[in-house]
Homo-oligomer: A and B are copies of this chain.
Amino acid sequence: MTQTHVPVIAIHGGAGTISAATTSAEQAQAYHDALKAIVAAAQAMLLKGASALDAACLAVEMLEDCPLFNAGHGAVFTHDETHELDAAVMDGTTLAAGAVAGVCHIRRPVRAARAVLEDGAHVLLAGAGAEVFARERGLEMVEPSFFSTEARRQQLYRVRDTGRVVVDHEGASMAAASPLDEDKKFGTVGAVAFDMHGHLAAATSTGGMTNKRVGRIGDSPLIGAGTYADDRTAAVSCTGSGEMFIRVAAAYDVCARMAYGGATLEAATHAVVQKSLPAIGGSGGLIAVDRHGNLSLAFNSEGMYRGHARGNDAPITAIFA
C-alpha cells in the first residue's frame, strides 16, 4: 500500500508595502475572504486525492479570476496602457514545466502554461506564438480589455506621471483602497501544493509591474526564478521585484540550499528572502512547501497576501507580518 501524506496547500496574492491611509477593515476582510475561499477549494481537491499540480493550478486560476489580485482579470497596465500576462507551472515529480509570457488574449494564463507543460515540446512560449498555441489547444481567448479594471488604469496614470516602474508614489489616494498600497505592491499570485501521494507542484501568474516597459518579462514565468518544484526538495512560488529574483535564481536557490547545503526549508527561504535578495535591493516574498509538508511563507516587505491549509484544518489567511 502506498503511504498517504497529509496534503498542504499555500497561496499568495502579492507582497508590498502597507499604506495606513488606505487600510480599511472592509477591504482587508474582502482579501481574507477571497484567500480563504481559494485555499478551501484547493484543499478540498487535495483531500480527495488530487495531484499537487491540479491543486496548484486550480488555486492560481481562481486567483486569476479574482479582480482583487494582479493576474488575469485585474492585471496592471504596461507603460503603453496594454496588458502583458505571464504564468508558469512546474511538476516536482517529473521536473516538467510550462510557461507563457507577454500574452494578452488568454483568459487564464496558468491554463496555457499547463498546456505547454503537457505538450512537452517547449517550456516557455512568448507573445503571439504563445497565443497561437493556446488557441490551437482550445483555451478560452478574450479581448485584452477583458483584463482591464478602472482601478488599475488610474494606478497606471498616477505611476506613469512619475516615470517610475516600481513605484513608491506617496500620498495618492487609491480609487479602490486595499490593505497593501497598490502603488507599492508586487502583484503576482501563486500556489504551492503537497499532495497525499507525496508530490510537489508550484504555479505562478502575474500581470507584471504597473508602467513596465512593453516586452519586459519578470521572474514569474521563468522556471528557477519565480517558480520551481522538485519532489526531492520543495515547491516555490515568488512575488516581488522580479528582476532581483531572476538575478539570484530565487525559487531554485531555495531548493539548491536544501539539496546541497542540507538547509531546512525555513533556513533556505530565510537565506533567500532575508539575505540574498536584500543584498541586491530585492524586496517581496515567496511561499514554499517541502517534501515533508513543511511550509514557509516568507517576505521582507511589510505584507504579503497569503493563505494556507494543512490536511483538514481550517484555512488560515494573513496580510501583514
Residues on A lying within 8 angstroms of B by beta carbon are 90, 94-97, 101-102, 121-130, 132-133, 165, 212-218, 222-225, 228, 242-243, 246-249, 252-253, 256-257, 259-261, 263, 280
Q: Is B260 touching A217 in the complex (CB atoms < 8 A)?
A: no
Q: Are B213 and A122 in contact (CB under 8 A)?
A: yes
Residues from chain B with a CB closer than 8 A to the CB of A124 are 216-218, 222, 246
Please state if A215 and B253 are interface contacts (CB–CB under 8 Å). Answer: no
Residues of chain B with a CB closer than 8 A to A216's CB: 122, 124-126, 129
Contact call A102/B126, Cβ cutoff below 8 A: yes
Contact B129 A126 (CB under 8 A): no
Q: Are A102 and B121 in contact (CB under 8 A)?
A: no
Q: Is B256 a contact partner of A213 (Cβ separation < 8 A)?
A: no
> What residues on B are CB-neighbors of A256 within 8 Å?
249, 252-253, 256-257, 260
* Residues B125 and A126 in contact, CB atoms below 8 Å apart: no
A114 to B224 CA separation, bound complex (whole angstroms): 22
Count of identical protomers in the assembly:
2
Q: In whole Å, how far is A260's beta carbon from the nearest beta carbon of chain B?
A: 3
Residues of B within 8 A of A218 (CB): 124
17 additional contacts (CB under 8 A) given A123-B246, A253-B256, A261-B261: A95-B248, A95-B280, A121-B213, A121-B243, A122-B165, A122-B213, A122-B216, A124-B246, A125-B216, A127-B127, A130-B215, A222-B223, A222-B224, A223-B225, A256-B257, A259-B261, A260-B261
Residues on B with C-beta less than 8 A from A165 are 121-122
A125's partner among B215, B242, B280 (CB-CB below 8 A) is B215
Q: Do the beta carbons of B126 and A126 come within 8 Å of each other?
A: yes
**Least distance between A227 CB and chain B CB atoms (Å):** 11
Q: Say whether A123 contacts B212, CB under 8 Å.
A: no
A57 CA / B139 CA spacing, docked (Å)? 41
Q: Is the CB of B125 within 8 A of A217?
A: yes
